[in-house]
Structure 1
């Protein structure tokens, strides 16, 4: 039973760290910049993001403030997915990017490119709670 609990908590530590990393990158922030805001070393941020070191609850609250998200979002427990969550923001940015690419294609006169050469961009959340980019051709 102890081994199972240890495995579960290790997975949760990795998932929380992955969310910290994803949101930090979404904010365009380096590990060094986040570390400076928190008053810790970038190596410590790196250990949190990898799940090597467990994030204390008080530290999680401080990190969430630095990343401008709720602590619940870092835990993967955001109650209202329709709220302005980092995931919703990331999805919005990808859609905006797709629109910009479409406008650029029209401006360059490359609107006649076959649909199978188009690329869609999206994200999904894997079992560990990490945001994974999806890149591929649109469905027919």
Structure 2
């Protein structure tokens, strides 16, 4: 055995952070090209960050957070919750980005109604 650790893919925390950055980017209505230009990297690099394929350095996370207006600590998984699981945060759930985009475009009365329906569905006896 060579002592080399087999590549097991991206670290779950890196994936979680990338998904959270993507959620903030979408919420800001910004595409990958614009974010990349603002933080002086290519849109391909932003893609890699958002997929967790490349880790985001502390300084880069600070720059991205400044552009997208969030606190850098807000993108990390909750301690004690497995990273990249649905419980780790809204941004880790498939379809959440599309839902958030649609929700943000709705008139206020529709958002209030949808939120009321969502709260009903989260109850265990609603199924």
| Alignment TM-score > 0.5, same fold | yes
Q: Shift of the alpha carbon at 1:17?
A: 0.2
In the TM superposition, residue 74 of structure 1 has moved relative to its aligned partner by: 2.0
Q: TM-score, normalised by structure 2?
A: 0.58
Give me the whole-angstrom Cα distance separating, in 1, the residues matched to 2:17 and 2:104. Answer: 25
TM-score (norm. length: structure 1): 0.54
Which SS does the other structure have where 1:20 is aligned? helix
Cα RMSD after superposing both structures:
4.2
Determine whether 1:57 maps to 2:58.
yes
Counterpart pick for 1:100 among 96, 109, 117: 109
Pick which of 24-33 and 94-103 moved more. Answer: 94-103
Structure 2, unpaired ranges of 5+? 79-90, 92-98
Q: Distance in 1 between matches of 2:111 and 2:71?
A: 34
Measure the CA separation in 1 of the matches of 2:15 and 2:69: 20
**How many matched pairs?**
99
Within 5 Å, give how 1:121-140 maps onto structure 2.
139=126
2:43 and 2:25 map into 1 onto residues whose CA distance is: 13
Q: Deviations over 1:54-105 (max 9, x none)?
A: 111111111110110001112246xxxxxxxxx9xx98x94994743389xx
Pair 101,61 (structure 1): closer, same or farther in 2 beyond 3 Å: same
1:46 counterpart = 2:47: yes
Q: Which has the higher strand share?
A: 1
Give the structure with the larger helix fraction: 2
The farther-off stretch of 94-103 and 30-39 is 94-103
| Larger CA Rg, structure 1 vs 2 | 1
Higher relative contact order (CA 8 A, sep 6+): 2
